[in-house]
Amino acid sequence: MKVAAVQMVSTPDRDENLAAAARLIDEAAAAGARLVSLPEYFCQFGWKETDKFQIAEAEGSGPIQDMLSAKARQHGLWLAGGSLPLKTPDPAKVTNTALLFNPQGQAVVRYDKLHLFSFQDGERSLDESRTMVAGQQCVVADTAVGRVGMSICYDLRFPELYRALGVVDLILVPSAFTETTGRAHWELLLRARAVENQCYVLAAAQGGMHANGRRTFGHSLLVDPWGEVVASLPLGEGVVLGDIDTERLQSVRRMVPALRHRRLRTPAELSS
């Protein structure tokens, strides 16, 4: 079954980004995608960290969620909304949230980014914890393309999160990796997560120079359970397409039954 990762170079203008995302979702749907993922921060790449407060929505309402719901319903597909800011009781902080919409346009899964990114290279300093509240739990969803595990960007560096998801067919990693960290680690980590968890990994990325001067790495990918890159887009706006092959999944798991050979379990598994 075909899936798609949308790559964007989002701007500080929410409405401009929503129009671009809608157009790229249409393109993915026309190519036959049954699940589409947008990148992290698809709705805004602001001038400053606090700009997100101006577009933050309450869960269940607002122009960002309305567009995602309408597009999922229009095309009858599963739509992973990259990430968007949702309001919290603290007016000075939001969550970085991925919503998954079903083909009826209903948001059936909410995942709040667990690991908040910080980065210093001597020239710039980023720290998401200044404006965001971290999530508290991992999230999976059963979809038409299989069992899907949710994550966002910096989560990619924490393999215990993905193991805690259990056996999944597809992991989503909507991201906005910096040029520096992306060049060093992006593909390496995505392929590792696919191999470790013997599943497909779909990573929709921001990819290019943004108005605020930040450069993101791009290279949206679909990786198969053997760690092979099925499809990729280096930079710029576009759509990455590929198939989730159930037989490929089962073949890899039969050949190297690592998931069955595990000796250690997560706390969640031990308590169930």
Q: What domains are defined for the chain?
A: 2-271 (3.60.110.10)
Min mean pLDDT across 123-132, 187-196, 238-247 is at 123-132
pTM of the model: 0.94
- What's the rounded Cα separation, in Å, for the pair 144 and 78? 8
Q: Give Cα 192 distance to the centre of its chain.
A: 16
Confidence band, pLDDT 50/70/90 cuts, at residue 260: confident
Lowest mean pLDDT among 2-11, 190-199, 261-270: 261-270
Reply yes or no on whether the pLDDT at 263 is more than 90: no
Which amino acid is present at 224? D
| Across 103-109, average pLDDT | 98
Identify the pLDDT of residue 126: 72
Q: Which pLDDT value is given to residue 175?
A: 98
Look at residue 173 in the predicted model and tell me its pLDDT.
Answer: 98
- pLDDT, residue 267, reads 61
Return the C-alpha torsion angle 23, 26, 31, 37, nearest 10: 80
More confident residue, 258 or 271: 258
Q: What positions carry a catalytic annotation?
A: 40, 113, 153
Q: What is the mean pLDDT of the chain?
A: 94
The C-alpha atoms of residue 211 and residue 172 are separated, in whole angstroms, by: 26
- The CA distance from 259 to 39, in Å, is 29
- 3-class DSSP state of 148: strand
Q: How many CA atoms lie within 13 A of 10 on its CB side?
A: 30
Average pLDDT of the segment spanning 143-149: 97
- Closest C-alpha among 178, 186, 166 to residue 206: 178
Mean pLDDT across 147-169: 96
Rg (CA), the chain: 17
Dig out the tokens for 106 from the structure.
């209903």
Residue 123: pLDDT band (50, 70, 90) is: low
pLDDT value for 122: 62
Alpha-carbon gap, residue 207 to 233, rounded angstroms: 9
